[in-house]
């Protein structure tokens, strides 16, 4: 596991700890301390910071970038036909492929900015697998999980103001990173968020014409992919079996949507060779 991208990792931790898991699918109370307009502004700023980070290299290989763009386009179109249509219309969607074959990670900002690391590709196999991950990330952004999480941070009275939490990406402080990564106060929320993103992501992928069963295979492969240490994408995810059980429970609804959908071509993803 490489941790040479502290700023990026911090970003992931704050906005989208990509995996987790929940015992309950929804929670009633939403704590959102900033407006959607402010959320967009903060997201734009954080995105610019990330793309300008000298440690971040974007892939320019069409074999890697084209599938990501193709799948994202269909998922976002599906989001615009969903119950979240208004929200999906208002976001400033953008997706990049980060050239980093060693990192199994993907993340999203609530303003609609999404990144996937090329290290995820071997876990995904096909564009349906990619759709499972992109659907999950789009789900986080639609449901404003990053904002909710940051709002939680503030009320946890940790001495950080909200803007500082979002924008504290520039002067990276170990304290903030540690807090974001290990803050136990946020864990239950995270699990709930992960489960919500799994559910919405599954339905979005199916509506977009991708086989929802791929999601199960993706999580299975990721859980099995390493000897002992889990991949980064799973490192905060303690209850793999519960996640699979949830996906199985939601699958009939997703399959029904998939059967009705305009099917997407399901091409193989490129092989990534790690030196």
Q: How many whole angstroms separate alpha carbon 100 and alpha carbon 274?
A: 9
Q: How far lies 165's CA from each of 12, 171, 174, 265, in Å? A: 13, 11, 13, 40
Q: Which is nearer to Zn ion, 79 or 197 (CB)?
A: 197
Active-site residue, selected from the candidate residues 137, 148, 196, 232: 137
Count the neighbouring beta carbons within 10 Å of the beta carbon of residue 115. 26
Which of 115-123, 189-197, 206-214, 215-223 is the region at the interface with Zn ion (rule: CB under 5 A)? 189-197
Identity of the residue, 194 or 211, whose beta carbon is nearer to Zn ion in the bound complex: 194
Does the annotation count 137 as an active-site position? yes
Give counts: helices (H), strands (E), the chain. 12, 3
Cα gap 235→119, rounded to integer Å: 15
Q: How far apart are CA 236 and CA 136, in angstroms?
A: 16
Q: CA–CA separation, 246 vs 218, rounded Å?
A: 14
Instruction: Pick the piece of the chain touching Zn ion (CB under 5 A) from 193-201, 205-213, 216-224, 243-251.
Output: 193-201
Nearer to Zn ion, 164 or 242 (CB): 242
Considering the complex, what minimum distance in angstroms separates the CB of residue 157 from Zn ion? 25
Cα atoms in the Cβ-side hemisphere of radius 13 Å centred on 189: 28
Interatomic CA distance for residues 88 and 81, integer angstroms: 9
DSSP 184: G
Our finding on whether 141 is near Zn ion (CB under 5 A) is: no
Shortest gap between Cβ of 65 and Zn ion (angstroms)?
22
CB of 218 to Zn ion, least distance (A): 13
* Residue range at the interface with Zn ion (CB under 5 A); choices 89-97, 192-200, 222-230, 260-268: 192-200
Does residue 197 belong to the site contacting Zn ion (CB under 5 A)?
yes
Q: Which residue is nearest to Zn ion (CB)?
A: 18
Interface residues for Zn ion in 156-185 (CB under 5 A)? none
* Cβ 214 to Zn ion shortest distance, Å: 16
If we measure between CA atoms, which residue out of 83, 118, 114 comes closest to residue 100?
A: 118
User: Whole-number minimum distance, CB 194 to Zn ion, in Å?
Assistant: 5
Give the shortest CB-143-to-Zn ion separation in angstroms.
10
Task: Count Cβ atoms below 10 Å from residue 171 Cβ, excluding itself.
Answer: 8
Query: What whole-number distance in Å separates Cα of residue 121 and Cα of residue 74?
Result: 18
18 binds Zn ion (CB under 5 A): yes
Nearer to Zn ion, 194 or 232 (CB): 194
The site map against Zn ion for 71-100 (x = CB under 5 A) is ------------------------------
Pick the closer one to Zn ion by CB: 110 or 194. Answer: 194
Is 26 in a helix, a strand, or coil? Answer: coil
- Count other C-beta atoms under 10 Å from residue 90's C-beta: 14
Looking at residues 33 to 72 of the shown chain, list those that interact with Zn ion (rule: CB under 5 A): none
Rank residues 169 and 234 by Cβ distance to Zn ion and give the closer one: 234
* Rg (alpha carbons) of the chain, rounded to whole number: 17
| Active site positions, annotated | 137
Tell me which residues touch Zn ion (CB under 5 A): 18, 194, 197
């Amino acid at each position: 596991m490489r941790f040479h991208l502290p700023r990026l990792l911090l970003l992931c931790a704050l906005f989208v700890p990509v995996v987790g898991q929940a015992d309950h699918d929804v929670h009633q109370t939403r704590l959102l301390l900033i407006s959607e307009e402010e959320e967009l502004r903060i997201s734009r700023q954080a995105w610019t910071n990330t793309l300008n980070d000298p440690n971040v290299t974007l892939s320019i290989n069409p074999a890697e970038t084209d599938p990501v763009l193709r799948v994202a386009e269909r998922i976002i179109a599906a989001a615009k036909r969903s119950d979240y249509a208004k929200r999906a219309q208002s976001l400033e969607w953008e997706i990049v492929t980060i050239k980093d074959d060693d990192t199994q990670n993907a993340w999203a900002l609530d303003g609609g900015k999404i990144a996937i690391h090329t290290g995820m590709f071997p876990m995904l196999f096909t564009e349906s697998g990619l759709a499972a991950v992109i659907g999950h990330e789009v789900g986080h952004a639609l449901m404003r999980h990053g904002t909710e999480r940051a709002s939680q941070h503030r009320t946890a009275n940790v001495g950080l103001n909200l803007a500082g939490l979002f924008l504290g990406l520039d002067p990276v402080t170990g304290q903030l990173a540690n807090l974001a990564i290990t803050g136990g106060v946020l864990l239950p929320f995270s699990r709930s968020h992960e489960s919500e993103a799994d559910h919405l992501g599954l339905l979005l992928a199916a509506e977009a014409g991708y086989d929802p069963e791929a999601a199960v295979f993706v999580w299975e492969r990721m859980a099995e992919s390493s000897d002992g240490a889990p991949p980064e994408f799973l490192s905060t995810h303690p209850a793999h079996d519960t996640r699979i059980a949830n996906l199985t429970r939601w699958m009939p609804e997703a399959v029904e949507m998939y059967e009705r959908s305009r099917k997407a071509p399901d091409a193989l993803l490129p092989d990534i060779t790690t030196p």
